[in-house]
Homo-oligomer: A and B are copies of this chain.
């Protein structure tokens, strides 16, 4: 496929950039129209690449783009999953270029979605185009691109259930994850689940003058901080009763296998510019993100946050809290456990409200499958090294649902790298990964 890429590169950039320019931010209601535009553009790209059929299919939220090419009922069917929605670009002031005006420099594509997941799903469309145009396609291929992954795919499971028949396939192929490093290709064989909540601590019914009331009335920011401070114990464990009840403890053998993945603590700390790491006692960094659950405060706000010194004892304080879950923790159960616990620790001088947001279960993928083997062979050929099986710390909530509803395993051929800083300012995607990904996907079809 190398030659085909060389000949069509400029067109690939133009096509991908037409997707990246659309601010399809699912977290913000004001982008509804952008979601539709992005979905329509994707359907056009699928048709141009050689699909028999592609449509923008309504769901109870943002539309799903569905496309297919049917070759022969005797052949295997590959269902490609991806998402066209992106994370909000904030904080905007930290971007070196416009997040929605992609550019190429330093060997990478820069912009929101360059990697996650527009850049990665685009590789699938182009590998497919290559196979169609060169007459090499020996599979039936189906595409399902959703617009709500970044908000936890609240409506895709229902859409999948409603479209179960036409989604029938042998494997669900996904590129929405990272490799361990540029030099070490890896295939994710597990992802963490997610529980996400928003909490609100309400003190007095209005913002107060901190001189007139300070010292006499509970400050909701202070109370929220005190509550958050109790959410981890001294060993770095999440201090919510029942949180670990269903956590699967890995065997020594399994932990040994994971420990084979290369990891350099010094480089890790340098990359992040931190003096020390922090996490659950008794586990390595890769274990802490791969096989252990955790709790993070993703956002906090309250009181006066503008320029200068406003003296106020505010009425409210807020935080967004996410928990990454491992098998067999159930997102729904953990969300309920947290909500109950957080309300129970509220002191009497404040009111606490808890809003349940997105969630999804984690999952594991067997590395003994034909699909895994084909992917390993394909990537081994492109990279010159056998890929390592790894456990991803992130979540693609809906893939556990795909597993349950369609009865097929996902296969995670991700080509992102940590340096791509997805979800952060200056998201990028290395061109060499972009092209190696296309080649690996084309070879996957060859060996599967």
Residues of A within 8 A of B (CB): 26-29, 87-88, 90-91, 94, 150-152, 178, 191-192, 194, 196, 198, 203-219, 221-222, 224-226, 228-232, 272-280, 285, 288-289, 292-314, 317-320, 322, 324, 347-351, 357-358, 392-395, 418, 421-425
A424, B273: Cβ atoms closer than 8 Å: no
The CA-CA distance from A221 to B303 in the complex, in Å, is: 16
CA of A212 to CA of B324, assembled, Å: 10
Q: A207-B424, A303-B320, A311-B322 are in contact. Are A296 and B87 (CB under 8 A)?
A: no
How far, in angstroms, from A109 to B439 measured CA to CA in the complex? 72
By Cβ-Cβ distance, the 10 closest A-B pairs, closest first, are A211-B394, A27-B308, A215-B294, A299-B303, A229-B229, A218-B278, A205-B273, A225-B225, A225-B228, A204-B272
> Is the CB–CB distance between B423 and A207 below 8 Å?
yes
- With A277-B349, A309-B196 already in contact, the answer to whether A90 and B304 are too (CB < 8 A) is yes
| CB proximity of A285 to chain B, nearest CB, Å | 5
Q: How far is the CB of A200 from chain B (nearest CB, A)?
A: 12
Residues of B within 8 A of A224 (CB): 225, 300
Indicate whether A216 sits within 8 Å of B288 (C-beta atoms), given known contacts A221-B297, A348-B276: yes
A79 to B279, CA, bound (A): 61
- Kindly list chain B residues whose C-beta atoms are within 8 Å of the C-beta of A226: 225, 228-229
Q: Are B209 and A309 within 8 A (Cβ)?
A: no
**Pair A88/B423 contact, Cβ less than 8 Å:** no
- Chain B nearest Cβ from A160, distance in angstroms: 21
Q: What residue of chain B has the Cβ atom nearest to residue A209's Cβ?
A: B423
Contacts of A225 on B, CB cut-off 8 Å? 224-226, 228-229, 297, 300
Q: How far is the CB of A29 from chain B (nearest CB, A)?
A: 7
CB-defined contacts of A198 to chain B, threshold 8 Å: 309
Given A217-B272, A299-B302, A307 and B196 contact (CB-CB distance below 8 Å): no
Decide if B304 touches A88 in the complex (CB within 8 Å). yes
Q: A203-B274, A273-B205 are in contact. Are A311 and B298 (CB under 8 A)?
A: yes
A424 near B206 with CB under 8 A, answer yes
CA distance A313 to B273 in the complex (A): 14
> What's the Cα separation between A272 and B299 when bound, in Å?
27
Known contacts A207-B424, A216-B277; A305 and B311 CB within 8 A of each other: no
Please, which residues of chain B bring their CB within 8 A of the CB of A301?
300-302, 305
Give Cα distance in the complex from A128 to B429, angstroms.
Answer: 71
Complex-state Cα separation, A392 to B358, whole angstroms? 47
Contacts A28-B307, A215-B294 supplied; 9 other A-B pairs, CB < 8 Å: A27-B306, A206-B272, A214-B289, A215-B296, A216-B279, A222-B232, A225-B297, A310-B320, A310-B423
Partner of A217, one of B152, B204, B274: B274
For this complex, 10 residue pairs linking A to B, each with C-beta atoms less than 8 Å apart, are A87-B310, A204-B274, A209-B424, A213-B393, A217-B272, A222-B229, A301-B301, A309-B322, A310-B423, A312-B424
Find A424's partner among B208, B293, B351, B393 (CB 8 Å cutoff): B208
Min CB–CB distance A91 → chain B (angstroms)? 8
Contact A304 B310 (CB under 8 A): no
Q: A29: which B residues are within 8 A, CB to CB? A: 307
Most buried by B among A91, A152, A209: A209
- Report the bound CA distance from A312 to B230 in whole Å: 20
CB neighbours of A357 from chain B (8 A): 308-309
Residues of B within 8 A of A87 (CB): 310
Q: Flag if B275 contacts A214 (CB, 8 Å).
A: no
Q: A213-B393, A418-B212, A423-B207 are in contact. Are A349 and B278 (CB under 8 A)?
A: yes
